Chain A
Amino acid sequence: MTRLETHDDLKKFRDGVVAQRNSKATWLAVCAGTGCRAYGADKLAEALEEEVKKRGLENKIGVRWTGCHGFCEKGPLVVIQPSDICYQGVQIKDIPAILDKICTGKGDVEKLCYLDEGSGKRLEKLDEIPFYKFQKRIVLEHNVLIDASEISDYIAVGGYSALSKVLSGMKPEAVLNEVKKANLRGRGGGGFPAGRKWETTRNAPGEPKYVIVNADEGDPGAYMDRSILEGNPHAVLEGLIIGAYAIGASEGFIYVRQEYPLARNHAQKAIDQAREYGLLGEDILGSRFSFDVTIHRGAGAFVSGESSALMSAIEGHVGEPRPKYIRTSEKGLWNKPSCLNNVETWANVPHIITKGVEWFCGMGTKGSPGTKIFSLVGKVKNTGLVEVPMGMTLRDIVYKIGGGIPGGKKFKAVQTGGPSGGVIPESLMDLPVDFDELSNVGSMMGSGGLIVMDEHTCMVDTARYYTRFLANESCGKCVPCREGMRQMLNILNRIASGEGREEDLPLIEELAEFMEAASLCALGQSAPFPVASTLKYFREEYEEHIREKRCRAGVCQDLIAYEIDHAKCKACGLCQKACPTDAIDKSEDKVFTVVQEKCIKCGACFSACPDKFSAVIKVPAFTIKK
């Protein structure tokens, strides 16, 4: 491939690849994101390619390995294009039927279509399926359409036209102004206006200036950044190049956590290809603007996602935060002005440039325009990645898109904002989701994890979970965070094991207030939020643990025990097989019994017991005779 030297070259190249794409009547887009690969999507795609070849259909049907389609619950996913028919849970044995259906119109594919529980109907098309129907997919739109390892695919769907527009006549100030006017707010957590940050870096003294992509995604339960980098790395790259141009940076970094090998590979490939095509490197598209990017792998530390820590890690040091009397946008990497934004933030930039500020501000709320991607996970039917306009209510996200709670269980809360966020109870479900509304109720947007919890999730345990996480991840540099987290964890452990004291709750509140005020970085400052918000909305659960030694959700292991209801036990023996510690005995009357001394409370028997019997039950530990 020769370099694209001019804007015209790019246009001609695009026309060429579009024609090539259109030469095939049908494309099968196989989701090859990490989620679907875990279900075996890569083998499926290979088998599809083989079968297409075997039938001699290569000229008519193409198979494309794409990024994450979002509906991870139902993987592996295959979407037929251009008709947008979506098949779910596709197995290799289904391949002949799919090809028959495409070629002859006959083929038993009905069972692969989405089953709408309400109407009992099978829904074929993407935009009929509720999971997709209520979304507004902007950043994720192309994930279904392109193979991330082919730059030509991205260019075919209009990629790099924003860069071309910027470099063929917009002044850096004009680009900056667009982003400022669009009020694009950082998608990585705080929601700080990206335009303002860009401006600070642009105006700060010091050369060279750096731009950085934060793909550390340390928030457990969130995977949108991963999916963007896996499915559409060029969009991030294009946004970064545009940002570099506006800011006046000549060098960029992508900081990817090493737990994301596929994302790293795709990002590296994207960089290599962009360089080869002259979209990165010297004199981009003949504009005299030069810029290049390097990938840096994060070695796994939550705190390293924080801006000053991340930059210290890129320099090769320990990824610890420093006090930010001077912001990293002014003095960051090697003490030079450095602009750090989240993956999703960068990926929004090309859209704003091509479609305009008005279009962007037409979505979302006044304070938070645009869309946001959430990872909708936990106790929800349709687990997956969803992109919605800001301002959609939590209820709509959880019920309309997510399909509600599985197994007829009762909803309890949604957790947003990860370890720095909080829980939101049923009573606040009609809250429109944007940066400010979430902060107002004691949570935060965070990176976009939405973890749904039902009646079998314990709030003390949830608080303890985040506290343990943060106590492990605290870098230890400042005392309020290091010691505060440890003491907080001690108290919560005490409560969860039934040793809680009446005065623990006020103690927690006092500690929380202190940590928020005195910690060095946002990790420590926001660390008490999960505890504070669970305590605020679910105080009675804490009190139950302390006063009655009871965990109503049946989660806190010291407070529960497993027993077998002899009246229900049919002696099928499944529980005994499942038990890893031989703690289940067959008693004389031919039913099974849990030997409490051997039981480690792993719940294997509980899950193994068929639903129709439900003979294994959880009981409060104090009811068991010692």
Chain B
Amino acid sequence: MDANKSAPQLNVLVIDAGGSFVEECRKALEGEKCEIVVAGSCKEGLLSAETDQPGVVILDLETNDISEFKMLGNLGEIAPDSVPIVVSRNATVNVAVDSMKLGAFDFLVRPVNPKKLLESVRQALNYSAMQREGQSSEQRADKHDLLLEGLDVFGEAYSIGLEKREFLDELGRLESAAQSHAESLGQVKTKEEAIAEIHNDLLDADAIMWKYDFQKNALIQILLDVQEQFRWLPRHILNWISGRLNIPLSDIYVIANFYEAFSLEPRGRHSIQVCTGTACHVRGASELLMKISATLGIEAGQTDSSQEFTLETVNCIGCCALAPVVQIDSQYYRNPSKEQFEKIIKSLKDEEALV
């Protein structure tokens, strides 16, 4: 398709609050048969879009603040056939994903690659023209794909292992996961906050998988790292890993259930592990466990309601000379009395209060 032929009469509106982007834009679109209209603020841009109904609106995200995103949302109402392209200097995955979800056709990182911008603008103009002609829903579905193509800007971050169409489904799932994740942690969060958090989680999970070259056989090592970093294996991360490594989720759950190191429930911020190795057992580990469990008011395997402590037993931590021994975070204690134990717990609580 030739963008120049099919959409010669449409304008390109550039919203450039910072004033530095217009030049980049002009250079990239040099020789194109389209007029460039410049707006210096979001408000100005909206006004112009309403009267002008341009083919393409290029929005330079200067501040990443709400007004810019709002403008993106409003645009869809006042100029439904103007196709938005978002560029940004401080691109994060969150910003990109939010933009795409608000209907951005493409997302480019500044300084933009002129060729890419040109291509993107041509496609967008073309698309805008098609829309004006009242296109069938089949082609609308096309928009979906094109939208998602924009995500490639982030390196392959979101495209390895996941079919693009699945990506939007995934986002939908993530939203509900975010909600329940926040609720399970007993935290009150707005949906946006929860989603942002989940996106960050996924980035972290990606960083872990990078370390192992996205190798399938490194799954256990990857899960160990996730467990270490998050203190449990949240469902949204397992979903994510499943997609990335192309391993069925059920297989991942088999592994997560089999090995003792993994927890499928959130653990407390501090771990209390009573060693039940043989040496500890003959020197009174079960009594120690009972004492600690009665003091904390939770059983082995449980986490207290404030997510502070998780009490567990562990097969042997190899400190047999100190038997019976309890490991609290990375410290080992030899058979603490009730009073000593209470003191340790209190100092951990105090520390936390300070932070």
Chain A contacts to B: CB under 8 angstroms: 34-35, 37-39, 72-73, 75, 217-223, 226-227, 258-260, 296-297, 299-302, 304, 313-320, 375, 377-379, 383-384, 415, 418, 449, 451, 453, 457, 462, 465-466, 469, 475, 557, 577-581, 600-604, 607-608
A600 touches B294 (CB 8 A): yes
Contacts of B333 in A (CB 8 A): 38
Contacts of A462 in B (CB 8 A): 282
Complexed CA–CA distance, A318 and B217 (Å):
11
Contacts of A384 in B (CB 8 A): 321
The chain B residue with its CB closest to the CB of A419 is B278
Contacts of B319 in A (CB 8 A): 34-35, 38, 72, 223
* A72-B320 CB under 8 A given contacts A578-B338, A602-B294: yes
The chain B residue with its CB closest to the CB of A318 is B258
Would you list which residues of chain B between 287 and 303 have a CB under 8 Å from chain A?
A: 287, 290-291, 294-295
Would you list which residues of chain B between 183 and 230 have a CB under 8 Å from chain A?
A: 216-221, 223-224
Would you list which residues of chain B between 215 and 261 have a CB under 8 Å from chain A?
A: 216-221, 223-224, 254-255, 258-261
Contacts of A602 in B (CB 8 A): 287, 290-291, 294
Q: Separation in Å of the A316 CB from the closest CB of chain B?
A: 4
A220 touches B276 (CB 8 A): yes
Indicate which residue in B255, B290, B325 contacts A318 across the interface (CB closer than 8 Å). B255
Contact with A along B311-355 (1 / 0, CB 8 A): 000111111111101000001111001110000000000000000
Indicate which residue in B259, B291, B332 contacts A299 across the interface (CB closer than 8 Å). B259
The 8 A-B residue pairs whose C-beta atoms are closest, nearest first, are A72-B321, A221-B278, A223-B318, A299-B259, A38-B332, A300-B260, A580-B294, A316-B217
7 contacts between A and B (CB under 8 A): A35-B320, A316-B216, A378-B278, A378-B283, A475-B258, A578-B339, A600-B294
Q: Separation in Å of the A77 CB from the closest CB of chain B?
A: 11
Judge whether B69 is part of the interface by a CB distance below 8 angstroms: no
The chain B residue with its CB closest to the CB of A39 is B322
Indicate which residue in B258, B281, B287 contacts A301 across the interface (CB closer than 8 Å). B258
A260 touches B318 (CB 8 A): yes
Judge whether B76 is part of the interface by a CB distance below 8 angstroms: no
Contacts of A299 in B (CB 8 A): 220, 223-224, 255, 259-262
Judge whether B279 is part of the interface by a CB distance below 8 angstroms: yes
B218 touches A469 (CB 8 A): no
Complexed CA–CA distance, A75 and B322 (Å):
10
A603 touches B221 (CB 8 A): no
* A259-B294 CB under 8 A given contacts A317-B255, A319-B259: no
Known: A35-B322, A384-B321, A607-B337. 18 other contacts (CB 8 A): A218-B315, A219-B316, A220-B316, A297-B220, A299-B255, A300-B261, A300-B315, A318-B255, A319-B259, A378-B278, A378-B283, A378-B323, A451-B278, A451-B279, A451-B282, A603-B284, A604-B291, A607-B284
Judge whether B277 is part of the interface by a CB distance below 8 angstroms: yes
The chain A residue with its CB closest to the CB of B322 is A38
Pick from B278, B284, B322, B339 the residue with the most CB of A within 10 Å: B278
Contacts of B219 in A (CB 8 A): 316
Contacts of A304 in B (CB 8 A): 259
Q: Separation in Å of the B46 CB from the closest CB of chain A?
A: 53
Indicate which residue in A221, A260, A318, A580 contacts B277 across the interface (CB closer than 8 Å). A221
Q: Separation in Å of the B262 CB from the closest CB of chain A?
A: 7
Indicate which residue in A34, A220, A557, A577 contacts B315 across the interface (CB closer than 8 Å). A220
Chain B contacts to A: CB under 8 angstroms: 216-221, 223-224, 254-255, 258-262, 276-279, 281-284, 286-287, 290-291, 294-295, 314-323, 325, 331-334, 337-339
Q: Separation in Å of the A212 CB from the closest CB of chain B?
A: 15
Q: Separation in Å of the B3 CB from the closest CB of chain A?
A: 47
Contacts of B261 in A (CB 8 A): 258, 299-300
Indicate which residue in B295, B314, B317, B338 contacts A577 across the interface (CB closer than 8 Å). B338
Contacts of B322 in A (CB 8 A): 35, 38-39, 72
Complexed CA–CA distance, A64 and B283 (Å):
33
B316 touches A221 (CB 8 A): yes
The chain B residue with its CB closest to the CB of A603 is B287
Complexed CA–CA distance, A316 and B332 (Å):
31
B321 touches A73 (CB 8 A): yes
Contacts of A220 in B (CB 8 A): 276-279, 281, 315-316
Complexed CA–CA distance, A168 and B98 (Å):
64
A604 touches B278 (CB 8 A): no
Q: Separation in Å of the A302 CB from the closest CB of chain B?
A: 7
Contacts of A227 in B (CB 8 A): 318
Indicate which residue in A38, A221, A379, A580 contacts B295 across the interface (CB closer than 8 Å). A580
Complexed CA–CA distance, A384 and B320 (Å):
8
B221 touches A604 (CB 8 A): no
Complexed CA–CA distance, A466 and B315 (Å):
11
Complexed CA–CA distance, A377 and B278 (Å):
9
* A316-B321 CB under 8 A given contacts A220-B315, A378-B282: no
B334 touches A38 (CB 8 A): yes
Complexed CA–CA distance, A606 and B309 (Å):
27
B278 touches A581 (CB 8 A): no
Q: Separation in Å of the A181 CB from the closest CB of chain B?
A: 34
The chain A residue with its CB closest to the CB of B279 is A377
B337 touches A223 (CB 8 A): no
Q: Separation in Å of the A250 CB from the closest CB of chain B?
A: 18
Contacts of A38 in B (CB 8 A): 319, 322, 325, 331-334
Complexed CA–CA distance, A457 and B319 (Å):
20
The chain B residue with its CB closest to the CB of A384 is B321
Indicate which residue in B218, B260, B291, B295 contacts A316 across the interface (CB closer than 8 Å). B218
